[in-house]
Structure 1
Amino acid sequence: MTDAGRALQKHGGREGSVYSYSSQKASVLNQEAQTIVNEILNNTNTKIESRVVFENKQKKLLWLKQQLLMGVL
């Protein structure tokens, strides 16, 4: 399963989440998550900033912010 697929499974399963999925099957989760990622990246309200973030002692340099009707993602 991709990182995006796992994130969708994790966050989409929470009560009140704005994200949902149609199946627990890895291939479906991966495809639906990729669609969400593409929508975020292609949205003109998405701001991409460089920031240093450490996750499991690994450096990551991409940070996304998307203005939503309910606030900031």
Structure 2
Amino acid sequence: MGLGRARLLARMHEPLSTSELAAETGLALATVSHHLSRLRTAGLVQASRDGARRIHSRTPVGDALVT
């Protein structure tokens, strides 16, 4: 796993939107979106809708990698 993806996964101790993750990590929005897509494909992150926002949280597998 790349450093950017690891930073995002570690930061998701609470559900956050893509833009919140970008602001908190200092990564570009497009970069965060790309990393989140890869993390979802790997089964480490799940996403849900909150109106127009997409909220991301770790799966149990993602939690196990961080702790």
Name the structure with the higher helix share: 2
TM tier, shorter chain? 0.3 to 0.5
Name the structure with the higher strand share: 1
> TM-score, normalised to structure 1's length?
0.37
